[in-house]
Structure 1
Amino acid sequence: MGTTDVLRNSIQHTQGRLSDRLADAREMEAPPDRPRDGYARIDAFLSSTSKHLHAVDAVLLRPARRRVPDGGALVHDYLRSTKELEVVLAHVKAHEYGSVYEISFSWPEVWDGVDLAMTDHQRHEAVLGNQITESLDDSELDVLAQRLYAAELAAPSRPHPYTPHTGLLGNVARKVMYAADRFWDTLEGRMVPEPAPEPKKKPGLMAQYFLADPRFDEEEPTPRP
């Protein structure tokens, strides 16, 4: 059982960042001379969220299924929530670019659906991270956190709810969709921000000693000289 919260912290950090991007995307007011500014925020939210979802599929689902007790049910529930969120994200993308199938929906209705799907997905993702943390050791958790960040860099930037998510077919689909998404992002001039680096672990006592950089617990009183 892991004693480090590096994976949980990475997930929480990303969830907070995506929630901030969602709040920015909802404020779509843009200057008259720069009407695309609002859409840039939507593109940033969609691409960042999609990349994270694809990265979790690529990195965390296999160890969850194999190493976590009742991991099959855990992954099944997570994938159901992921697909629902990806469908909603695809709905946002279509609404943004004026699909004829979207004329009966207003932006507030679209964003309300995103809020519900995001809340449900973040709850399932938090459970996934907690269960993995409780089942793997510290070195394995460190590797997973690093792989999760690396996977986001090379993940598709659009939701693909109906492509395979797991196994060999999932890996192949992500590579194909990554190349296709890069092509269309360039063609459309979409903004695709890079994921923020994962939070670093606090250095241990030995590391603090060698770095001559002692860290004191904020809740503990600072020792007097």
Structure 2
Amino acid sequence: MSAAPLPPLPPVPGVTDDELEPAGRSMIELLEEEHDRLDLLCSRAATEPAASDVLVATLARHLSAEEQYLYPAVHSVLPEGPAIAERELAADADLLVALRRLHSTADGAALQSVAERIRQHTHRTATEVFPALRARCSDGELVRLGNRVEIARSAAPTRPHPGTPSTPPLNKIVDPALGVVDKVMDALSRRTTWEEDL
């Protein structure tokens, strides 16, 4: 068993954590799917102004969930994990700054900057991070992490907040609080934040 940062499951007499098969989807599967969605949203945002708001919200939620669960897993499980996690957190900080510019200006240059950073992020995770995690984590661990990613995404901010904590435990407290504020602002401004609402 790997050292994935997960709380223990409730005890079941005569059954170990390794024998349990939790329901849900793998964290890697969820994040890969979202990477594809982000790429499509970048294309849509170039021609549909409303898609820009959805891109900003989707990416803000995505980065929050990765910072809460993907990077701590990378840090704990992979031999070179601390360096990879540090590199990705720095790239996320740059991406949040670019995302803030897109959110405030929604111009073509800002969109191109965000789109390029998304492509780089997707390439790094697909070639370096996800294969290494698949090799070192059990399917059950990846599903348990996937369940947490889904919860984190639903509570995450919908706007970029550079400078807020990017590592646990503080980001697990701050991000949901910012998410509440962002969602109230979205409702008041009638801002579209989900792709299915476009």
The structure with the largest helix share of the pair is 2
Q: Provide the C-alpha distance between the structure 2 equivalents of 1:125 and 1:159, rounded to a whole number of angstroms.
A: 21
- What one-letter code is carried by the residue in structure 2 that aligns with 1:24? R
Tell me the SS of whatever aligns to 2:169.
Answer: helix
The equivalent position to 2:62 in structure 1, one of 48, 52, 57, is: 52
Q: Provide the C-alpha distance between the structure 1 equivalents of 2:109 and 2:55, rounded to a whole number of angstroms.
A: 17
Partners of 1:7 and 1:133 within 8 A in 2: no
How far is the alpha carbon of 1:112 from its aligned partner?
2.1
Does 1:68 pair with 2:69? no
Does 1:134 pair with 2:135? yes
Q: How many residues align?
A: 173
How far is the alpha carbon of 1:11 from its aligned partner?
2.2
Partners of 2:54 and 2:195 within 8 A in 1: no
Cross-structure match for 2:5: none
Cross-structure match for 2:101: 91
1:120-154 deviation per Cα after TM superposition (whole angstroms, max 9, x unaligned): 22223333322222211111011112222222111
- What one-letter code is carried by the residue in structure 1 that aligns with 2:161? H
Q: What is the 5 A alignment of 1:1-225?
A: 6-28=26-48, 38=49, 40-96=50-106, 107-126=107-126, 127-193=128-194
Structure 1 residue ranges, 4+ long, deviating more than 4 angstroms after superposition:
none
Partners of 1:85 and 1:121 within 8 A in 2: no
State the TM-score, normalized to the length of structure 1: 0.70
- What one-letter code is carried by the residue in structure 1 that aligns with 2:183? R
RMSD after superposition:
2.1
Partners of 1:8 and 1:130 within 8 A in 2: no
- What one-letter code is carried by the residue in structure 2 that aligns with 1:157? T
- What one-letter code is carried by the residue in structure 2 that aligns with 1:8? I
How far is the alpha carbon of 1:19 from its aligned partner?
0.8
Q: Provide the C-alpha distance between the structure 2 equivalents of 1:109 and 1:171, rounded to a whole number of angstroms.
A: 32
1:169-214 deviation per Cα after TM superposition (whole angstroms, max 9, x unaligned): 211221221121112111211112179xxxxxxxxxxxxxxxxxxx
Q: Provide the C-alpha distance between the structure 2 equivalents of 1:134 and 1:159, rounded to a whole number of angstroms.
A: 32
Q: Provide the C-alpha distance between the structure 2 equivalents of 1:79 and 1:167, rounded to a whole number of angstroms.
A: 12
1:12-53 deviation per Cα after TM superposition (whole angstroms, max 9, x unaligned): 21111111111111103xxxxxxxxx2x21111111111111
Q: Provide the C-alpha distance between the structure 1 equivalents of 2:185 and 2:56, rounded to a whole number of angstroms.
A: 14
CA, structure 1 residues 8+170, in 2 after alignment: closer, same or farther (shift >3 Å)? Answer: closer
User: Which of the pair has more CA radius of gyration?
Assistant: 1
Gaps of 5+ in 1: 29-37, 97-106, 196-225
Aligned-residue sequence identity (percent) comes to 24
State the TM-score, normalized to the length of structure 2: 0.79
Partners of 2:157 and 2:178 within 8 A in 1: yes
Partners of 2:38 and 2:118 within 8 A in 1: no
